[in-house]
Structure 1
Amino acid sequence: MDVFNGMRVFVQVVDSGSFAAAAEVLSLSGAHVSRLIADLEQHLQTRLLQRTTRRLSLTESGERFLLRCRGILDDIRDASAEASGAHLNPRGRLRVHCMSGLGVLITPLIARYSELHPQVSMELSLSQHTPDPLEEGHDVVISIAHALPDSAFVSQTIGQLFSVPCAAARYLANHGVPDHPGQLLQHRRLHLQDFQEDEWRFQGEAGDLSVPPGTAFRTNVADAMVKATQEGMGISLLPFFSAAPALQDGSLLRLLPDYRLRERTIFAVHPSRRFLDAKVRTWVTFLQASLPALLAEYVGVVEQPGHWAPR
């Protein structure tokens, strides 16, 4: 049998989640796809997929074989790219993933990049977890961390992120304005998960101080936390770019301007390849050049004294 074609179809079935969806992508019949997978399993003398009427799942052998297939297919794509010049001219589909809260930053940059490289079609997926680029088929993953663990992936810094403590004026009128991080223990603290750690770590001239996040309200979506804070539910830490519009329109006030929370780095992560596809290379280079300037605009808003809560 044609093992390479079987590998290609197998990977597409896994990525698509069903034989029918894979058949549509590959312009084949469902029966043909099913037969190719059966022939591949017969050739390997092992079952790769468990099939039920509702879903497909990988066997242990299938999981190992999938990783090998992805590596082999990537090598073949790299070889083809080298021969065709795809590593020189950006074109084709570029699959980008980032955390949901970063979508407000990434989408305008995608529009500007697309104007520069109209032969590249962009596909942006948003979620609250950081996926494995190889396992989920992403070309570039935008990740937030203090540091990334060692891996076979390439990570490049594209910006810095910090959060600011905010509250609605009506909450502060009822509960008072804290002027020291330790006083936050007397307030309702709202916890934005994923963007923050298990402690709110403040840095100031008097030293560092950590405050545990509260349990009054938790969410993993920055926009939802902005709304909850505007409704007077308590004090929250918001990524500065999420807080900026609400600070600008006065629906939120910034607290503790003498303290800063520890910064985290925004990384662009992509698989390490000898012949890096031009669309990946130009996209990451574009982010490195464009994102810091965009972030600086938001920083300018949150740092304006007129947005701070009166002491």
Structure 2
Amino acid sequence: MSDRIDASVADIEAFVAVARSSSFTRAAEGLGTSKSNVGKSVQRLEAALGTRLFQRTTRAVRLTEDGETYLMASETALEGLREAGQALAARRAEPIGKVRLDLPAGFGRLLFPALAELRLRHPRLTFELALNDRMSDPVSEGWDIVVRIGDLPNDGEMTVRKLCDLRLGLYASPDYLKQRAEIRSPADLPGHDAIVFRGPTGRLRPWKVADGPHIKELSLNPVLALADGHALVEAAVQGFGITQIHDRVAQPHVDAGRLVHVLPGSDVPGPPVHAMIPLGLKMPAKTRAVLNQIVAYLQRTD
């Protein structure tokens, strides 16, 4: 059995270029190489196929019968390779696959409409969500996007993008407010039932309220302390008392009549919201699409 000599794509491309131009010189110019290299490519191809592809004279280069047969197959094969390359490039550019997001419990639910909108445009995109208020490790836990409210850890392995700013306000259910004394100023707050958030460190988060030009911090004895931001909102909706939550989280409930904004003039600037993405050479198209969608949605609903 004789040794097999495989034809390379480069050799086939050189053959096609010569066949189309009927010239080794013009083929070399079109390929950006030398006439000698084109000649060697054709020779290797002929050796691999065991046949002559061209009839060469001093005046012309013509395809043999075998050359005409191989040209048709070569053009079809090269076109198939080009189409496959384009399909792979489109796949890299199109958002396809699963994106894993770690989101704050209350704030994360606001992003459901944004993700639903994105899936309508890109149905091959899927999501895995974690909704919690703990500080996860984005890199070791394999998250594509981690959204955090407040201060961020110093982490050189992450790319950070600011999503929005929040404001802190006081909210309670209409039923609770009907049953209790009217609240005219921050001085009335200590007499009311407080629902307070317990942070990841275990510390109860005090309320901060604007009282004229000053911002005061109120440490309260809560009727309910919760470490889950979503549960904090639900407790207020159920009438446990007054809670201090972020404006974006509260607004859908205010619009639906489930919560009332208490002392709007006492709202204070809240923490920023950032997205963290594990640092890499290039952000995947699927991750970039989700991040851009979240940013656009928050800007639109601001």
Return the TM-score normalized by structure 1: 0.60
Name which of structure 1's ranges 125-134 and 266-275 shifts more when overlaid on structure 2: 125-134
Whole-angstrom distance in 1 between the partners of 2:300 and 2:197: 25
2:217 maps to 210
Number of the residue aligned with 2:180? 175
Structure 1 position 87, deviation (Å): 5.8
**Alignment: residue pair count:** 211
Work out the CA distance in 2 between the residues paired with 1:119 and 1:231.
39
Rate the CA distance shift 1:265–1:186 in 2: closer, same or farther, 3 A: same
Task: Out of 196-205 and 266-275, give the one that drifted further.
Answer: 196-205
Deviation at 1:174, TM superposition (A): 4.0
How much does 1:213 deviate? 4.1
Q: Give yes or no for contact 1:96–1:124 (8 Å, CA) kept in 2.
A: yes
**Residues 5-33 of structure 1: CA deviation (Å, up to 9, x unaligned):** xxxxxxxxxxxxxxxxxxxxxxxxxxxxx
Letter of the structure 2 residue corresponding to residue 156 of structure 1: R
Number of the residue aligned with 1:105: 110
The separation in 1 between residues aligned to 2:232 and 2:282, in whole angstroms, is 42
Residue in 2 that maps onto 1:14: none
Identity across the alignment (%): 23
The equivalent residue for 2:257 is 250
Q: For 2:135, what is the secondary structure of its paired residue?
A: coil
Once the two structures are superposed, residues 185-210 of structure 1 have per-residue CA deviations (whole angstroms, 9 ceiling, x without a partner) of 22221113349972211235421111
SS at match of 2:274: strand
Q: Is the 8 A contact 1:167 1:236 kept in 2?
A: yes
2:153 to 146, 149, 153: 149
CA deviation after TM superposition for structure 1 residue 170, in Å: 4.1
Kept in 2, the 8 Å contact 1:222–1:242? The answer is no
Q: Does residue 1:237 correspond to 2:244, yes or no?
A: yes
> Which of 247-256 and 92-101 deviates more?
247-256
Q: Secondary structure at the match of 2:140?
A: helix
CA–CA separation in structure 2 for the residues paired with 1:225 and 1:189: 11
How far off its partner does 1:267 sit?
1.1
Larger Rg: 2
1:182–1:211 Cα contact (<8 Å) kept? no
Q: Could you report, residue by residue, the CA deviation over 1:17-65 in whole angstroms, capped at 9, with x for unpaired residues?
A: xxxxxxxxxxxxxxxxxxxxxxxxxxxxxxxxxxxxxxxxxxxxxxxxx
Residue 234 of structure 1: how far off its partner (Å): 1.9
Give the distance between the partners of 1:289 and 1:245, measured in 2 at CA.
Answer: 18
Q: Deviations over 1:270-300 (max 9, x none)?
A: 1111222222222212222222222x2xxxx
**What CA deviation, in whole Å up to 9, does each residue of 1:118-170 have, x standing for no partner?**
3332222222213111111111111111x323212111011222232122344
State the alpha-carbon separation in 1 of the partners of residues 239 and 96 from structure 2: 48
Distance in structure 2 (CA, Å) of the matches to 1:289 and 1:104: 16
| AA of the residue aligned to 1:127 | N
Structure-2 separation of matches of 1:126 and 1:173: 33
Q: State whether residues 254 and 261 of structure 2, in contact with CA within 8 Å, keep that contact through their aligned partners in structure 1.
A: yes
Does residue 123 of structure 1 match 2:128? Answer: yes
- Out of 144, 147, 152, which is 1:139 matched to? 144
Root-mean-square deviation over aligned CA pairs: 2.6
C-alpha contact (below 8 Å) 1:159/1:265 kept by paired residues: yes
